[in-house]
Amino acid sequence: MESNKRIGTFFFSGLFVSSLLVAPFAIDANLGIRSLSLALIVLFSIIFLKTKEQKRNVPVDLVLLFYFIYTLFSCASTLWSVNSAEALYSSSRNILAFSIFLIASSSFYKNPKIIEGLFLKLMLILFLLSALLAMGQFLNIRSISKALIYGVTGLSAHKNLLSSFLFLNLFFLIYGSITFKGVWKIISILFIGLSVILILILQTKAVWLTLLLSLFFFGICYLVFVKWQVRSRRVFLVSLLTLMVMLNIFFLKWLPNIISTTLSNQTPNTTQSTSSQSGAENERLVLWEKTYDMIRKQPLVGVGNGNWQTHFPDATLSGIWRAEDLDVTFQRPHNDLLWIMSETGIIGLNFYLLFIFSILLLLISNLPLQKGNRTETMKTLLCISFVSGFLLISFFDFPKERIEHTILFNVILAISYVTIRQNQLLKTFFLIPINSYGKLLTLFVLSFVVIVSYLHLQGEVYTRKLYNDRTSNATWLSLKDGENALSFAYSTDPTSVPINWYGGSAHAAMGNYQKAIMCFEKALKVSPYQRNVLNDLGSAYMMRKDPERAKQLYEEAARISPRFDDPKLNLAAIYISEKKYDKAIFWLRAVFHDSPRRSNYYKVIEIQKSLN
């Protein structure tokens, strides 16, 4: 028992630290360092567990089986992904999420008091630090306006992510107000009020709506399901199956039709608004529509973990003028459930939803068993409200990407899972004995996750240096930093531009066109729909006197980004040199923005026609 307590103390203290770390020397100051920290915490927790418990059996039930299959399938999707580096990094985060759930569940089951003791107090401190940082950021803005509030991020990377983080943390504040006594109870209640105020000020509509619906779920479950006896396994399975059928119909039939109908009823100018909220909402719908284009091409298994950003431009950037004119990049579709379906297909999404909804249905089944225990009933209702509420946030945002969200949500799921198991609502299918070979395999996998996390963080550090090199025109230094950034776990920067593209640009600037082609071709393999890679590779082939290959690349770049004029102007230049003036004029007319280069090409055509 004492060894379990020490492991739990180390593990949960590590989760707390991993939610705080910041690395200003990396491109993303939060994600990489927190991933690496969490990977190390999980690895050392397993090593510590290995030394203390030589014999251990893992009971496998329906919930655990669904989560394991989803995690395994997500990792397996690396095999058919185009960008394997991004797939490996995304898969490592899936493994970490599953590990948090497994270790936290085991710790809570063996030592329930650790929730009410160490962990809840750590969550109170975590909220206090995030709230203080957010309030400090509020002091630096002149007024509480929508635009200025985007600078308030707390411990997160984005205002909306801060809101969803506060929502998840609110679970532990309320849990503390239920279980604590004395000073800690008073602190929990005060922090609940402060948390709600911050969420309201941050003006994230998805979180506002989630708060209201969570209260609604709480009330409905209290009024209806506390007295509803649902002990039958058959009722549970029928309910789960019915839910899954309805969800599949929604995601495969209703939602794409709703998106298409809504967008077809919008005026063209609505999607080109950078300031209005409606413009942002329509832009999100366009992202969803293009995500469905990706899903239709790979419906069962998806494009591979972490590869949404790689495949997204294949549906073209039309309708997202910020991506075309302002070089704004999108790393995810702002909908975690569509994100999962696009990368792991219908199979991956169904296993994920089976896991979540089996927990929710079993929690509801658990309510009648706690009729005489008000505290346990409130805890179960809290789990139902926040698990279902977080699903709603996931439908409008991207908390799946963030480590602090992964930590908090999986701990909530672990508490829910332990609540279910304690009332023996889950049947154990079989036991997995963890022998020395199983332990070695676990340590190998987690060590690999640590390496992947480290290399990804290292890649971001050198990419940040690479950006500075390009700003200062330090060409040779940018080549060196680009080479240092590259690894099997890092090949693309956060804006979806392959690192080899920077090397190709540097070689092209120095006149080394053969080396530039080699770099651009490598870049094209990991990012085949990146417009700059296509355009610059085409230009490199032109310098090597291969206009036919250049034309193919330019045309693909023009297809992907209709408002991107460089490939069209380059095509016009080729056809002028070939004296194919009709084709040259066709591409000049397709140019979206007027420019001196376009005007000069028209003049050249007129002069050459007059001479002929």
Show the tokens assigned to 84. 């394997």
Confidence of residue 217 (pLDDT cuts 50, 70, 90): confident
**What is the model's pLDDT at position 278?**
44
Confidence of residue 51 (pLDDT cuts 50, 70, 90): low
* Residues near 267 by beta carbon (within 8 Å), at least 6 away in sequence: none
Q: Is the pLDDT of residue 231 over 60?
A: no
User: pTM of the predicted model, to two decimals?
Assistant: 0.92
Q: Is the pLDDT of residue 487 over 80?
A: yes
Tens digits of residue pLDDT in 525-550: 999 999 999 999 999 999 888 999 99
Show the tokens assigned to 50. 């290995």
Tens digits of residue pLDDT in 91-129: 999 999 999 999 999 888 888 887 778 889 999 999 999
Q: Is the pLDDT of residue 277 over 70?
A: no
Question: What does pLDDT average to over the chain?
Answer: 88
**What is the model's pLDDT at position 48?**
83
Paired residues of 58 in beta bridges = 432
Tens digits of residue pLDDT in 569-579: 999 999 999 99
Q: Is the pLDDT of residue 52 over 60?
A: no
Of residues 226, 235, 231, the one with CA closest to residue 367: 226
Tens digits of residue pLDDT in 281-297: 688 899 999 999 999 99
Confidence of residue 587 (pLDDT cuts 50, 70, 90): very high
Tell me the C-alpha distance between 39 and 23, whole Å: 16
Q: Is the pLDDT of residue 609 over 90?
A: no
Residue range 584-604: mean pLDDT, rounded: 92
**What is the model's pLDDT at position 148?**
72
Paired residues of 492 in beta bridges = 498
Residue range 270-276: mean pLDDT, rounded: 43
**What is the model's pLDDT at position 274?**
41
Tell me the percentage of the chain whose pLDDT exceeds 90: 63
Of residues 562, 530, 491, the one with CA closest to residue 330: 530
Of residues 497, 463, 494, the one with CA closest to residue 481: 463
Task: Calculate the dihedral angle through the C-alpha atoms of 6, 8, 12, 14, rounding to the nearest 10 degrees.
Answer: 50
Tens digits of residue pLDDT in 316-362: 999 888 888 887 888 889 999 999 999 999 999 999 999 999 999 99
**What is the model's pLDDT at position 142?**
64
Confidence of residue 49 (pLDDT cuts 50, 70, 90): confident
Residue range 204-216: mean pLDDT, rounded: 90
**What is the model's pLDDT at position 95?**
97
Tell me the C-alpha distance between 360 and 385, whole Å: 9
pLDDT higher at 342 or 608: 342
Tell me the percentage of the chain whose pLDDT exceeds 70: 92
**What is the model's pLDDT at position 480?**
92
71, 144, 399, 502 from 350: Cα distances, Å: 12, 41, 19, 39
**What is the model's pLDDT at position 84?**
96
Confidence of residue 248 (pLDDT cuts 50, 70, 90): very high
**What is the model's pLDDT at position 376?**
86
Residue range 561-586: mean pLDDT, rounded: 94
Tell me the C-alpha distance between 322 and 308, whole Å: 19
Phi-psi region of 354 (alpha: psi -120 to 50; beta: other; left: phi over 0): alpha
Tens digits of residue pLDDT in 401-459: 899 999 999 999 999 999 998 877 678 877 777 777 788 899 999 999 999 999 999 99
Tell me the C-alpha distance between 230 and 228, whole Å: 6
